[in-house]
Chains A and B, each alone.
Chain A
Amino acid sequence: MQLKSYARTLAVALSLAFVAGCSSSGGTQDGVMDGSRDGAAGTGTAGSGQISGSRMGDGAGQQADGRIPQQRTIYFEFDSDRIRSEFEPVLASHARYLRSNGNARVVLQGHTDERGTREYNMALGERRARSVERFLGVQGVSPSQVEVVSYGEERPAARGPNEEAYAQNRRVVFAY
């Protein structure tokens, strides 16, 4: 797990180096227009510093709830971004953790099942992750700690054209 994440970081850094190398004409558009947060052009891993300039010094309370909650996936009904009541305690535990660990960063990865078109599913996955983001916000989590990335139907947790697999794939994953 550890190794995999290291390898990914390395691959990201290298691919960026490569892209930078072959676009010397300045042809890249790194998302700095409109002052929007740039989720991709930086160092790749969440919480690497480019997201917010206002997080310094709010790491107080680190000890209050030091462990990342165990359950990091919640599931959704078909065609829905509503948080199911059974998962509210899971979200509340992540909210507690993030509130008491101001340096912690989480990427909310939104996923859908395979039915429907890919880019539309990308939008639906984002809607699910944003629904979780709003829930965390209401619970007092700083927006600077949370980032949303939709994978749409591209990374299924289970394979097969059946409802059992679909139910496992309609999810939001907390990636710390």
Chain B
Amino acid sequence: MKALMTTWLAAMLLMVGSLAHAQANLTIEITRGSDRATPVAVVPFAGGENLPEDVAQVIHDNLERSGYFAPLPRDAMIEQPSESGEVRYRDWRALDVRYLVVGRVSQEGSGYSIQFELMDVSGERRMLGEVLTTPQGQLRKASHHISDQIFEAITGIRGAFSTRIAYVTAQGVGDDMQFGLYVADADGRNSQQVLSSVEPILSPAWSPDGGKLAYVSFETERPAIYIQNLASGQRVRATSFEGINGAPAWSPDGRKLAMSLSKDGQPEIYVMDVGSQDFQRITNSSSIDTEPSWAPDGRSLLFTSDRSGGPQIYRHDLASGEQERLTFTGNYNARGRFAPDGESIFLIHRSNNGYQVARQDLDSGRLVVISESRLDESPSVAPNGTMVIFATQQGNSGVLGAVSADGRASFRLPSAQGDVREPAWSPFLN
């Protein structure tokens, strides 16, 4: 018995210990390109043959996935320069390419040196040029970093290719299920397991510094909110009241956690001070109040309430205590999330076409559906506001989908096994 206990304990420690590498990588399938995408070309980097990662291809894929760019296929390139001096602009203009990326990779010690340049083809001008060194095993990370710089140089918007996503996996049915909590790079690669359990895991939420995840786990056969440090694996149980302990959401300063607790009878919104563990009750109604989310300025909270009958999204002003209904289109609008600029919200909207991701402009109140399946859930906005990742269905499996904020471009991240759901896009990580 004692030996058994020890084995179990060891297994548990492994489960929630420091991030374990596990094969739950997601792949990417572009489902729709934007008709407004800017034509670009990322030339294969000289010296890039036989390296563990094809740097130019990673950049190409990142730019394409963003929906902002339509990279030229390699086989359409008539020349492959590796530095600005070799570029014949007229040839690229003939191919309708607006921006051109060239570069080279070379071994340096145990790592690599990467040189890249970005050119404006019509202006025949170099916009960016840099040499960076990267340790072994970090070529992909460096490629994301380069993608971020290129994206920002052209669009003026900070790139989000170096960010990460958290998500939940599930397999099985009824009493026989297995759940996993993972974090992976924003392109679905490099996945690492954070937690594994035979009981449900849901609602992962990144702390604003990107160092911690709050989530709901049923591992005690009751829901409780945990906060886990991703680097050390250490965690604390933040709340385990009777009833629902759900929907944790970090305040922008990382000091508070909004959540839904039903300890008083029905789910109400509370704000917990993470340091002092003091609670402030935000809602007081006989209806369901859940799914809180902070405004980027930290001054108000969105939440879902069925006080008007069906679920609609409300905004609570923390200074005045006033609550205002925001959604009026249709009879089901839930789980609102602010865009980083605070000017619009993303939510789940039910129409005759099912449950879909929608964006509502806060000034005009106009709601636009931006996803296409019938069972879409859990929209989470990239920290630069350009993309929304969400859970959707492909056949009978749950997969992650992403759509550009304007709805024009989309892609999917299918998994080899089981359902993937509850994506949460990390903040900027450096």
Contact = CB atoms under 8 A, between A and B. Distances in A.
Interface in A3-38: 4, 8, 10-12, 14-19, 22-23, 25, 27-31, 33-34, 36-38
Interface string B386-397: 000000010010
Given A18-B13, A157-B173, A157-B174, A10 B244 contact: no
A19 B237 CA distance: 7
Contacts of A45: 221
Contacts of B5: 10, 14
Contact of A159 (B175, B218, B272, B396): B396
B79 to A, nearest CB: 50
A89 to B, nearest CB: 25
A7 to B, nearest CB: 9
Nearest to A123: B288
A154 B267 contact: no
A4 B198 CA distance: 11
B220 A120 contact: no
Interface size class of A (residues with CB under 8 A): 35 or more
A14 B267 CA distance: 29
A100 interface: no
Given A18-B12, A36-B263, A40-B224, A119 B242 contact: no
Given A4-B175, A14-B5, A44-B220, A27 B288 contact: no
Given A18-B12, A39-B222, A116-B350, A123 B240 contact: no
Contact of A29 (B8, B239, B266, B304): B239
Contacts of A41: 220, 237, 240
A31 B241 contact: yes
Interface in B222-265: 222-224, 226, 234-247, 260, 262-264
A152 to B, nearest CB: 8
Contact of B267 (A16, A33, A114, A126): A126
Contacts of B220: 12, 15-16, 40-41, 44
Given A126-B243, A160-B396, A161-B375, A120 B334 contact: yes
Contact of A33 (B224, B262, B279): B279
Interface in A94-140: 114-120, 122-124, 126-127
A22 B15 CA distance: 14
Contacts of A75: none
B304 A39 contact: no
Contacts of A155: 174-175, 177, 200
A145 interface: no
Interface in B148-194: 170, 173-175, 177
A17 B219 CA distance: 12
B239 A19 contact: no
Contacts of B334: 116-117, 120
A8 B290 contact: no
A156 interface: yes
B396 A161 contact: yes
Interface string B346-388: 0010100011000000000000000000110110000000000
A116 B355 contact: yes
A41 B177 CA distance: 23
Contacts of A33: 241, 279
A154 B241 contact: no
Contacts of A31: 239-242, 263
B405 interface: no
Contacts of A117: 291, 304, 311, 334-335, 348, 355, 377-378
B284 interface: no
A149 interface: yes
**A15, A124, A127 pick with most chain B CB within 10 angstroms:** A15
A174 interface: no
Contacts of B234: 22
Interface in B380-430: 393, 396, 422
A8 B244 contact: no
Contacts of B203: 118-119
A151 interface: yes
B40 interface: no
Contact of B236 (A12, A27, A118, A119): A27
Given A40-B223, A116-B334, A120-B334, 17 more contacts: A11-B219, A15-B219, A27-B238, A28-B240, A29-B238, A34-B264, A38-B240, A40-B241, A114-B375, A116-B355, A117-B304, A123-B266, A124-B288, A154-B202, A156-B174, A161-B374, A161-B375
Interface of B: 5, 8-9, 12-13, 16, 170, 173-175, 177, 198, 200, 202-203, 218-224, 226, 234-247, 260, 262-264, 266-267, 272, 277, 279, 288, 290-291, 304, 311, 332, 334-335, 348, 350, 354-355, 374-375, 377-378, 393, 396, 422
Interface of A: 4, 8, 10-12, 14-19, 22-23, 25, 27-31, 33-34, 36-41, 44-45, 114-120, 122-124, 126-127, 147-152, 154-161
Which are the 10 A-B pairs with shortest beta-carbon distances? Answer: A40-B240, A154-B200, A40-B222, A27-B236, A31-B241, A123-B288, A39-B242, A23-B236, A117-B335, A119-B247
